[in-house]
């Protein structure tokens, strides 16, 4: 007994002595204990810049001093991120911070328990950035009452449209696009006047004219081909292929395909750079692609046209960062995120590279990329912590950018269902079957491969039915109704 007491006393002394050591460090870093050096494992999507290691070295000097942490960045390549991203989360490998977005299945992964709940950690370890999250974004990032991701405080009014070579438009005297058929006119002009070019830059996996069609009818995608019109008070989940105008569309696509508006091998084409490399005269993509192709090739004078009846503010989790459930140092990861979002030097490093070497800020307060080969601005998955307050407009933006932005903002509507995140679990078999049917029976129709579109269309509808589109539609309608009912409460 006596011996035990002595041991206890010794222990107490030890605790006091040891405890006092990091006391100084503690005082410096507010209330957090960062006495242990850690290495933060971060996963980003894409590939590093040539000079990324150089930039990372600079960043690590800062993190070592500020957070007693070093940062190790791992890349998930574009080629296989769809398979690798879920695998990394599933493997349980310790990851402290990861890029998260709706297109990396943020909601599905969150529902599967892949991310750490930040509801209590975030306000403590990244108080400033937490306070900046707007209520609508906060609500959108929250899943079942848990905050699983920190959305980047950046939004725009997203829009897909037709990107056309302006120099060719001028040459042909082509005015612009106010109907899909106008695009057909442009494609024909290219085919006749510039036979060395492909009129449109299409590949099997990219967005096609079909995507334009449902957008022009005011639909939003739930999981294709199920769509809904968010302008309705109580929207119906619609099977897009049951719309009356679809057959006419397929017939038109057959006609366009036969006329050679796109390659007859388009379904096996994997080269998505035809527009960027001057081999194609147009493409279908979003306004960001328009801007970047304008900057990359000012001589193309790229123009952007869109026919959707409205625009919608991008979702909160369009870009964000999350802490995987396997994280070893979630506290330090959030402290780093706070730095990235609140300290311009941190932000600039990972977003624009090293000042003076990779970029400079001009007198007009625009961004001049000095060495896009070494480090291209915003090129390396820095989107997860993108900030309006640190954003610098790049040089060489399209002349009519402000006009386009104003138009997009003017036509913006509030999507009351933006938080409706369907749970596909009950219909996952049907969803998989439908996805396969879409590739097999719809894609060939969209590119005019099918000699008899009427027959092909019937087959498509039948195959969708067999795959269980009706069950899926019913289930999603039920979930949507439920969601609307919960809104009313």
Q: Which is nearer to another protein, 96 or 338 (CB)?
A: 96
Angle, CA 82 vertex, CA 77 and CA 86 arms, to 5°: 105
- Beta-bridged to residue 70, according to DSSP, are 39
Choices 14-22, 149-157, 288-296, 434-442; region in contact with another protein by CB under 8 A: 434-442
| Residues pairing with 151 in the sheet | 320
Residue with tokens 């913006």: 412
Closest CA to 384 of 18, 3, 76: 76
The alpha carbon of 119 is separated from its chain's Cα centroid by a whole number of angstroms, namely 23
Phi and psi at 429, nearest 5°, equal -65, -45
Q: 316, 321, 315: which is closest to 350 by C-alpha?
A: 321
Nearer to another protein, 221 or 355 (CB): 221
Please report the beta strands in 208-272, taking only residues with DSSP state E, as ranges in sequence order.
220-223, 226-228, 238-239
Strand-pair partners of 361? 367
How far is it, in rounded angstroms, from Cα 156 to Cα 173?
32
Question: Of 28-36, 58-66, 262-270, 414-422, which segment contacts another protein by CB under 8 A?
Answer: 262-270
Asked whether position 144 contacts another protein by CB under 8 A, the answer is: no
- The helix/strand/coil state of 327 is coil
The answer to whether residue 429 forms part of the interface with another protein (CB under 8 A) is: yes
> What is the chain's length?
489
211 interacts with another protein by CB under 8 A? no
Nearest Cα residue to 218 out of 104, 309, 93 = 309
384-388-390 Cα angle (round to 5): 90
**424 is a contact residue toward another protein (CB under 8 A):** yes
Total residues interacting with another protein, rule: CB under 8 A: 47
Stretch that binds another protein, among 5-13, 42-50, 246-254, 466-474 (CB under 8 A): 466-474
Tell the smallest beta-carbon distance from residue 143 to another protein (Å). Answer: 13
**How near is the Cβ of 418 to another protein at its closest, in Å?**
20
Query: Of the candidates 6, 428, 458, 478, which one interacts with another protein according to CB under 8 A?
Result: 428
Residue 204 or 397: the one with the smaller Cβ distance to another protein is 204
> In degrees rounded to 5, what are phi and psi of residue 398?
-55, 145
486 token code pair: 């919960």
Which region, judged by CB under 8 A, interacts with another protein, from 29-37, 48-56, 105-113, 120-128? 105-113
112 binds another protein (CB under 8 A): yes
Nearer to another protein, 264 or 389 (CB): 264
Alpha helices in 21-172 (DSSP H): 23-28, 52-67, 81-91, 106-111, 121-125, 127-132, 135-141, 166-172
Task: Tell me: does residue 100 bind another protein (CB under 8 A).
Answer: no
Among 17, 145, 181, 268, the residue binding another protein under the rule CB under 8 A is 268
Residues in region 314-333 near another protein by CB under 8 A: 325
Judged by CB under 8 A, which stretch of 133-141, 178-186, 333-341, 428-436 contacts another protein?
Answer: 428-436
- Near another protein by CB under 8 A: residue from 26, 29, 102, 108: 108
Interacting residue with another protein among 40, 44, 89, 150 (CB under 8 A): 89
CA–chain centroid gap for 382, Å, is 12
Question: Does position 82 bind another protein by CB under 8 A?
Answer: yes
Write out the binding residues for another protein, residues 169-208 only, by CB under 8 A. 204-205
Q: With binding defined as CB under 8 A, does residue 90 bind another protein?
A: yes
Q: How far is CA 408 from the centre of its chain?
A: 19
- Using the rule CB under 8 A, which residue among 163, 253, 334, 433 binds another protein? 433
What residues have CB less than 8 Å from 410, skipping those under 6 apart? none
The binder of another protein chosen from 66, 449, 461, 483 (CB under 8 A): 449
Please tell me the distance from the alpha carbon of residue 326 to that of residue 324, in angstroms, as a whole number.
5
**Which of residues 423, 439, 452, 486 is near another protein by CB under 8 A?**
439
Interface stretch with another protein, choices 22-30, 36-44, 186-194, 266-274 (CB under 8 A): 266-274
C-alpha span between 6 and 191 (Å, rounded): 93
Task: Please say whether the beta carbons of 235 and 228 come within 8 A.
Answer: yes
Give the residue with the Cβ less far from another protein, 148 or 346. 148
**Quick one: 85 or 347, whose CB is closer to another protein?**
85
* For another protein, the closer CB: 36 or 452: 452
Closest to 158 measured CA to CA, from 483, 413, 335? 413
The binding site for another protein (CB under 8 A) comprises 82-83, 85-86, 89-90, 92, 105, 108, 112-114, 204-205, 223, 260, 263-265, 267-270, 325, 424-425, 428-433, 435-437, 439-444, 449-450, 463, 466-468
């Amino acid at each position: 007994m006596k011996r035990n007491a002595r041991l206890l006393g010794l222990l107490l002394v030890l605790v006091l002595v040891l405890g006092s050591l990091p006391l100084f460090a503690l005082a410096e870093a507010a209330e957090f204990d960062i006495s242990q050096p850690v290495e933060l494992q971060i996963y980003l999507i894409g590939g590093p810049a040539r000079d990324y290691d150089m930039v990372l070295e600079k960043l690590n000097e800062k993190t070592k001093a500020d957070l007693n942490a070093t940062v190790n960045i791992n890349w998930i390549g574009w080629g296989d991120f769809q398979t690798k991203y879920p695998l990394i989360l599933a493997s349980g490998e310790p990851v402290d911070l990861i890029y998260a977005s709706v297109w990396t299945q943020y909601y599905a992964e969150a529902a599967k328990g892949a991310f750490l709940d930040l509801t209590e950690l975030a306000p403590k370890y990244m108080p400033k950035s937490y306070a900046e999250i707007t209520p609508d974004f906060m609500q959108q990032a929250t899943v079942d009452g848990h905050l699983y991701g920190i959305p980047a405080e950046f939004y725009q009014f997203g829009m897909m449209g037709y990107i056309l070579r302006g120099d060719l438009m001028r040459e042909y005297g082509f005015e612009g696009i106010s109907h899909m058929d106008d695009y057909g006119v442009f494609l024909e002009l290219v085919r006749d006047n510039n036979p060395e070019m492909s009129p449109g830059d299409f590949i099997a996996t990219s967005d096609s004219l079909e995507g334009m069609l449902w957008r022009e009818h005011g639909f939003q995608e739930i999981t294709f081909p199920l769509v809904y019109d968010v302008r309705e008070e109580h929207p119906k989940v619609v099977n897009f292929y049951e719309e009356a105008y679809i057959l006419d569309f397929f017939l038109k696509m057959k006609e366009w395909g036969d006329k050679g508006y796109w390659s007859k091998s388009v379904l096996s084409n994997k080269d998505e750079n035809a527009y960027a490399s001057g081999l194609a005269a147009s493409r279908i993509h979003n306004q960001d692609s328009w801007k970047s192709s304008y900057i990359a090739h000012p001589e193309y004078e790229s123009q952007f046209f869109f026919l959707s009846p409205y625009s919608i503010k991008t979702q909160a989790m369009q870009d964000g960062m999350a802490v995987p459930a396997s994280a070893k140092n979630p506290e330090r990861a959030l402290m780093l995120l706070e730095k990235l979002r609140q300290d311009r030097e941190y932000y600039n490093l990972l977003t624009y590279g090293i000042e003076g070497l990779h970029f400079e800020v001009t007198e007009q307060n625009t961004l001049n990329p000095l060495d896009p080969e070494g480090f291209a601005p915003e090129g390396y998955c820095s989107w997860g912590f993108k900030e309006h307050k640190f954003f610098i407009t790049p040089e060489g933006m399209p002349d009519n950018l402000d006009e386009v932005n104003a138009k997009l903002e003017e036509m913006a509507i509030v999507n009351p269902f933006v938080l409706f995140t369907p749970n596909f679990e009950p219909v996952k078999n049907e969803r998989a079957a439908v996805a396969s049917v879409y590739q097999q029976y719809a894609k060939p129709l969209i590119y005019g491969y099918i000699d008899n579109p009427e027959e092909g269309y019937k087959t498509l509808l039948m195959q969708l039915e067999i795959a269980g589109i009706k069950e899926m539609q019913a289930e999603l309608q039920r979930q949507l109704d439920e969601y609307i009912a919960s809104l009313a409460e």
